[in-house]
Chain A
Amino acid sequence: MNRRSFVTKSGLLLGSLGLAGAFRQDLVGSLSETLLPSARAEGMEPRRVLEICFRYGIPMIIFGTGNEFTKLTQPRYSNFSYAGNEIIKAPGTSNLYLNVDSASLASHAKNIAITQGTQSEGPHTNLFNYRTGGLNKGKTSPIIELAHLNPTQSIVSGVQWTGDVSNQTNGLQDLNKVNASGFLGLFKNARLRMTKEEVEEVLQAATKLSRRQALLLEDKMTDSLAQFKTYNKAMHLFSTDYSKLLDLSDMPSTLTKTGAYANYREALGLTLKGFANNLINSSLVPIELGDWHGYQSNKQNSLIIKNISEIIAATIEQLKNTPDPAAGSGKTLWDTTVIVAGSEFSRGVAQFSKDNNDGGTQGIMLIGKNVKGNYYGSFTLSDKDERSDAGTTGIDPVSGNVMAGKNTTEQLYYTAKQAMGLSLLTTEKEKVLRPMFG
């Protein structure tokens, strides 16, 4: 019997005996964890997500784009400033072109899908509105849904690293905000002034009090019971010291706190360690790379692209080489994890010396075993183009054919949900950019 079945049947039984909902849920949950510790709770295949949120106006085409750029005779466009002979056809794809700086992604390109063909909503920052179903749609952020499901039964369902990104939770528990010290602190047992046994007694009592308090606060707080669940898990962290599992010394230096973007490298390294030991299920890493407006010199662009591409490539390598403890034997994190990367909004595609504008396009990059690598969409480019925004187009969500207009952020939202394996209604499935999946 898996835990879901146990919880459902026991819950119905206790409900028929008149036990109140919250107590019932808590009691059955505790019992199931005690009696069936190794059984996966939801009866679902384990799934994890690493979400990368690039702040400000960085476009996804800095990593890879379509063949329109191969036709240019000189690097004319600031967001993808490579002339034809500097562009590399990505192996295993029909229309994905990397550049000299993102070349480190080549060996993984058949599992990297990129588009810049989405209509950006709002003139400037839109705070990742593809993560909430589109402008003012207020849908639950996909990573919040996956963390809530926690199909790996990780100790901590989801974390979010330092950075200014907000999630739409709609009453579900938000990700646990951490920096490196906070992340390590979560899993380390501090030396306290009471004995371990006394601490256990105290926290057991505090948890009982908190359960009752959550019930008393239910009509005053939006998520008191969800808070209690979070609290309960926090108290369980006192029982074991997991912090030694998070040692990064065996990680490639690309994923330790060294060099440019050291904090992001460390966040990704610790995320991978957290996945590898089933301490966390979901991780959101905000990455700030400056205002892309200011980087119309391709020297600076190159450095950013090279560094971030190498970091992403190293992350993929680790996923491929690390067993997933929540999956069956032989499966690695690559089998269970998807990377979803996007930008808060994206500048347009402008020639050098022209303003690349504030909100011309929006994009997303998916990386995963079930992702079909390619660039999805097209561009209107010209060696003689004098416009400030060259323009992008998207794809038909079913056929994948390039279409005249752009895709919508709502389509990106459902595409991200699909990538994470979240359930979709039939009408929602129609909005998924299906060609991105193999």
Chain B
Amino acid sequence: MTRVKILYTLTGMFFVAVLFQNCGGIAFEAQDSASRGIASLDLGSSTKLDCQFIGTQSMHQRLATLLGINSGDISILADDGTQTSEMRIEKSKTDLGDADPAQGLLQNLSCGMTKYKISAEVFIDACTVGMNSPSQKQLLFPQGETNFDLLYMALIGRSPTDYERGVLMELSATLPPEKRAMGVCAAVASSLESLIKI
């Protein structure tokens, strides 16, 4: 165990503790994230795990709990930009690994390109809608849009590294002010570590 990892572990544990005390609304998600984030490193284990996708249930929960989208899903837009009655996660649930007994499909949470692509589509749209709400934005960015700690903790289960903060600052600078929270939320929610359980 390197010093860096120990630091990550301690930092993560601190944020988890803070989160459970102060942010009851997203406590479930924090628990879910912390169970697989670097914050939860088993100090005594060296076994490597296979990649496992988070699954649709977790996606629904994030949309509902973190982004304030009560239905837990986001509608698909038609080519002309109008909303359709189809929902992104629901429509792609077997592509995202859900079982479908009618088709003889078992649950499949192996990681893969389709899941990454669809998830990015879901979270780009969901963050755009969710961060349009001042209260939801306040929930994920309580210390302002340039502090990414809580967002990172909620979605990934640890705080961002300096490099990651730099990437997000750079992204913020390229977006108009009203879109910064949306963009940062979408980038973190669509990132690899956010989409896998480990």
Q: Which residues of A contact B (CB under 8 A)?
A: 156, 162, 164, 174, 176-179, 181-182, 185-186, 190-194, 198-199, 201-206, 208-210, 212-214, 216-217, 219-224, 227-228, 230-231, 233-235, 237-238
Instruction: Say yes or no: B174 contacts A201, CB within 8 Å.
Output: yes
CB distance from B105 to the nearest CB of A (A): 6
Known: A192-B121, A219-B48, A220-B198. A202 touches B113 (CB 8 A): no
* B77 proximal to A (CB < 8 A): yes
Chain A hits for B167, CB < 8 A: 205, 208-209, 212
Count how many pairs of residues, one from A and one from B, have CB atoms less than 8 Å apart in the complex. 160
- Closest B residue to A207 by beta carbon equals B191
**Besides A185-B95, A210-B193, A237-B113, 19 other CB < 8 A contacts?**
A176-B112, A177-B112, A182-B94, A185-B117, A186-B117, A190-B121, A198-B183, A202-B186, A205-B170, A206-B188, A209-B164, A209-B192, A216-B193, A220-B38, A222-B51, A224-B51, A230-B111, A233-B113, A234-B113
Chain B hits for A224, CB < 8 A: 51
Instruction: Say yes or no: B51 contacts A221, CB within 8 Å.
Output: yes
Give CA–CA (A222, B52) in the complex, Å. Answer: 11
Chain A hits for B129, CB < 8 A: 193
Chosen A-B contacts, 29 in total, with CB atoms closer than 8 Å, are A156-B113, A177-B112, A178-B95, A181-B92, A185-B95, A190-B121, A191-B77, A192-B77, A194-B182, A194-B186, A198-B175, A202-B186, A202-B187, A205-B167, A205-B168, A206-B186, A206-B191, A209-B192, A210-B191, A212-B163, A212-B167, A216-B161, A220-B49, A221-B51, A221-B198, A223-B50, A224-B51, A228-B192, A237-B117
- Closest A residue to B173 by beta carbon equals A201
Which of B91, B111, B113 is the most central at the interface, judged by chain A CB atoms within 10 Å of its CB?
Answer: B113
Instruction: Say yes or no: A185 contacts B114, CB within 8 Å.
Output: yes
Give CA–CA (A335, B182) in the complex, Å. Answer: 49
Chain B hits for A191, CB < 8 A: 76-79, 81
Instruction: Say yes or no: A203 contacts B51, CB within 8 Å.
Output: no
Instruction: Say yes or no: B106 contacts A213, CB within 8 Å.
Output: no
Give CA–CA (A260, B101) in the complex, Å. Answer: 21
Chain A hits for B38, CB < 8 A: 216-217, 220
Give CA–CA (A164, B120) in the complex, Å. Answer: 27
CB distance from B115 to the nearest CB of A (A): 8
Give CA–CA (A217, B170) in the complex, Å. Answer: 23
Give CA–CA (A7, B180) in the complex, Å. Answer: 37
Known: A192-B124, A212-B164. A202 touches B81 (CB 8 A): no
Chain A hits for B51, CB < 8 A: 221-224, 227
Majority-rule SS of A interface residues: helix
Instruction: Say yes or no: A214 contacts B192, CB within 8 Å.
Output: yes
Chain A hits for B105, CB < 8 A: 162
Instruction: Say yes or no: A220 contacts B92, CB within 8 Å.
Output: no
Chain B hits for A156, CB < 8 A: 113
Chain A hits for B104, CB < 8 A: 164
Known: A156-B113, A191-B81, A214-B192. A220 touches B120 (CB 8 A): no
Chain B hits for A179, CB < 8 A: 94-95
Chain A hits for B168, CB < 8 A: 205, 209
Known: A177-B108, A210-B193, A221-B48. A201 touches B95 (CB 8 A): no
Give CA–CA (A193, B127) in the complex, Å. Answer: 9
CB distance from A27 to the nearest CB of B (A): 15
Instruction: Say yes or no: A182 contacts B193, CB within 8 Å.
Output: no
Chain A hits for B192, CB < 8 A: 209-210, 213-214, 227-228, 231
Chain A hits for B48, CB < 8 A: 219-222
Chain A hits for B77, CB < 8 A: 190-193
* B60 proximal to A (CB < 8 A): no
CB distance from B82 to the nearest CB of A (A): 9
* B28 proximal to A (CB < 8 A): no
Instruction: Say yes or no: A177 contacts B110, CB within 8 Å.
Output: yes
- Closest B residue to A224 by beta carbon equals B51
Chain B hits for A193, CB < 8 A: 77, 124-125, 128-129
* B190 proximal to A (CB < 8 A): yes
Q: Chain B 119-150, CB within 8 Å of chain A: the 1/0 string?
A: 01100110011000000000000000000000
Chain A hits for B26, CB < 8 A: none
Q: B128 touches which one: A190, A194, A221, A234 (CB < 8 A)?
A: A194
Chain A hits for B6, CB < 8 A: none
Chain A hits for B171, CB < 8 A: 201-202, 204-205
Give CA–CA (A186, B95) in the complex, Å. Answer: 10
